[in-house]
A and B are shown apart, each in its own frame.
Chain A
Amino acid sequence: MANTDATTLDDGPALLIPGMGEEGETLVVKQAAGQQSETEEVKFGTSRADRATSFNLADFPVLTGEEEDWRFTPLHRLAGLHLPDGDDALLTGVEPKVSVTEHEGVTIETVGRDDTRLGSFMVPDDRTSAAAWASFTEATVITVADNLEIDSPITVSVEGNSTDPAAQHIYVAVGANAHVNLVINQTGKATVSQNIEFAVGEGANVNVTSIQAWDDETVHVGSQQASLGKDSTFKHVVITYGGSLVRLTPITRFAGEGATTNMYGLYFADAGQHLEHRIFIDHSTNNCTSDALYKGALQGKGARTVWVGDVLIRGNTSGTDSYEKNENLLLSEGAQADSIPNLEIETGIIDSGGHASSVGRFDEQQLFYLMARGIPEPLARKLIVRGFLNEIIQKIGIEEVETAVTEVMEDEIADLEL
C-alpha cells in the first residue's frame, strides 16, 4: 500500500517549525512521506485515507502481524478467520443464526449473495472483512420504511452454535426520516467474521446498540460500516464483554452534509480476553459532527484491550466538529490496555476537533473523597468503577437495554478482587 497521493502537498507552504506544519502533525508526516517517496516506497500508508478498500480478497495480502492495523491482534487466536493459507480457502462454517423481532414497517428478508443491495454501503477494508465478503452465502436484509417512528427496539439476535470458521453478512437500510432503535445481541459460541452495513437515510435518526455477549470460546471479527445520508443522526454503541477474542471495526462515512454520528463503546476484559475496537470516522463532506467516547475496564492476568480511533477530516471539507476520547481503567495487575487516538486534519477550516486518551488505575483522589464520607474502601472502589462504566451505559438510551447491561456490569464488578 504505497502512499500514492503523498506528493499533493509539495506546493504547500514551507514548514514554520521543523516537524510541525501549519495545520498539524499529520500534514507534516504526509509531506515527509512525499519527499521520501522518490527514493523509497513508504511501507504503510501514513494516512487513513490511503488504506486499501476492496471487495477482492487478493487485494489484502496474507497477514504477517506487522501490518499497522493488525500489529496488536494475536493472529494465532483468530482461528483461521484471516485465511492464513491463501486466497483459495473460504469460511465455510455455519454462521450464527439471525432472528429479528417483527414490527410494522420493517421488512426482514434472507437473500443470496447476488442480491445487488449488498455491498452498496460498505467496502471491506481489511483481510478478515474481505474474507467474510468472499465467503458468505446468504445475508439478512432489514429494511425500515421511510418516516417510520417506533420506540420499541428492533432486536437482532445473533446466536452462535458452532466454532467452525464462518462468514456472516447483515444489511440494514433505514428509510428517510425514520426514527428507530436497533439492538444487536450477539451470544453463544462462534468463530465468525461478520460484515454489517447500515444505510441511514436522509434525515433519519438511528440508534444502534451492538452487544457482544459471546461465550468464552468465541472468536469474532466484525466490520460495522455506516453510511449517513444528509442531515441524519446515527448513534452507535458497542458493548463488548464476552468472547475469547473480539475485534470490531466500526466505521462511519458521511454520504451527505449536515449529519451527526455518536460512536460510543464500553468493553470489560477479564483474564485472557482480547477485546479490540478500531473506529474510523471519515469526514469527507461539510458540516458534519462526530463524537466518539469509548471506555474500557480490565481485570485479571492477560486481560488485553486495544482501542484505535481514526478520525479523518478531509481537505475538501468545512464546518466539521469532531471529538474523540478513550479511557481505560486497569483494575488489577497483569492487564494491558493500548489506546491510540489518530486525529488527522487535512484542512484548516474546521469548527473544532480534539482527542484524548488515558490508561490508568484508580483515581486516588476519588477514592479519598468517597472514603472521607464514610464509604468503606471496597464499596468506594465499586462505586468508582460503576460510575466509570455508567457514563457509556447512560448513552444507550433504551431503558430495558440499559437495565440489562447494568446488571451484566454489576456481575462483572461483583467478581472484582479490589
Chain B
Amino acid sequence: MSTLEIKDLHVSIDTEQGEVEILKGVSLTINSGETHAIMGPNGSGKSTLAQAIAGHPAYNVTSGTVLLDGEDVLEMEVDERAQAGLFLAMQYPVEVPGVSMTNFLRTAKTALDGEAPTIRTWAKDVREAMENLEMDQTFATRNVNEGFSGGEKKRAEILQLELFKPKFAILDETDSGLDIDALRVVSDGVNRAQENNGMGSLLITHYTRILRYIKPDFVHVFVDGKIVDSGGAELADRLEDEGYVNYEKTEATA
C-alpha cells in the first residue's frame, strides 16, 4: 500500500512578462489502486500539475510538498522520481532519434530496477505487452517515438507503463488524439497495470469519454490552478451535461 500526497502545491513558470503562478495551492492524496480523474478547461493548469510532479525543469515549485510514502519527491532528481515509482505518460511524447525502442526500454528498466532484467523473460514481457496493445513487433526496432503517429506514441507510453510497473501513474491527456479503437486499447492497458500491480493513477483529461473505459474512484474539477470540487464518478456525468461554466463563474466572482 503506497500513498502519493500532494499538499498545497504552488507552481509558477517564467515568462517574458515575469513569473506567473499557475498552480495556486493543490492538495490531493492518492492511494494504491485508486483512480483519480482531474478534469478542467484548457489552461487551468492540469498539465502543469503533471509536469511539476515529474520534475520538469521549466516549472518552479514555490511552496507545498509532494510526498511518496513519506519521501519528499520535490527533493529528488527527475530520474530519482521515476525510480521511486512515479510515471508520467506524456501528452507529447518526445522523439529520440537513433535510440531504438528495444535499447531504450531495456536501459530504462535496468535503471528503474537497479539491475538488468533477465534477457529471456524480458524479451517475452516486451513481446506480450506489445501484443496486448496491438502494436506491431517492428516497433521494437524503430527509434523512440520517431515517426510514430499520435496514436502510436500514446500506445508506446502505455507499453512503458505496463513494463515499468510504477506505483503511481500520471496520465496527461492520454486520450487526446485517439480514435475510439485506440482509446479502448490504451484504456485496457491502464486497467491491466492497475489490476496487476495495484497502481494508483491520476488521469488528466478534458473529456469524459475515457472515463467510460477507465472507471474513476474520484473526480476532481480543476479550475484556475486549484481543485474547486471533488466527488465520485457521478461528478463526471454532471460535467458532461453542464460543462465548467458554473465553476468558472464562481471563480470570477469570488
Contact = CB atoms under 8 A, between A and B. Distances in A.
Contacts of A384: 96, 99
Interface residues of B, number: 29
A377 B81 CA distance: 13
B82 A374 contact: yes
Interface in B80-107: 81-83, 88, 90, 93-99, 103-104, 107
A10 interface: no
Contact of A369 (B77, B96, B97): B96
Question: Which of under 10, 10 to 19, 20 to 34, or 35 or more describes the interface residues of A?
Answer: 20 to 34
Contact of A371 (B78, B95, B98, B99): B78
Contacts of B97: 387-388, 391
Contact of A368 (B56, B95, B98, B111): B56
A371 B77 contact: yes
A13 B48 CA distance: 54
Contact of B98 (A365, A372, A387): A387
B57 to A, nearest CB: 7
B4 to A, nearest CB: 16
Contacts of A376: 77, 79, 111
Nearest to A375: B111
The secondary-structure label for the interface of chain A is helix
B54 A389 contact: no
Given A368-B94, A387-B97, A374 B108 contact: yes
B104 A368 contact: no
B107 A383 contact: yes
B225 interface: no
B164 interface: yes
B98 A379 contact: no
Interface string A172-210: 000000000000000000000000000000000000000
Interface in A341-367: 363-366
Given A371-B77, A380-B79, 12 more contacts: A364-B57, A366-B95, A368-B57, A369-B96, A373-B104, A373-B111, A375-B111, A377-B77, A379-B111, A384-B99, A387-B98, A387-B99
Interface of A: 363-366, 368-377, 379-380, 383-384, 386-391, 394
Interchain residue pairs A-B with the least CB separation, the first 8: A387-B98, A390-B98, A374-B82, A387-B99, A369-B94, A371-B78, A374-B112, A373-B108
10 contacts: A364-B57, A369-B90, A369-B96, A371-B82, A373-B164, A374-B82, A376-B79, A379-B107, A383-B96, A388-B98
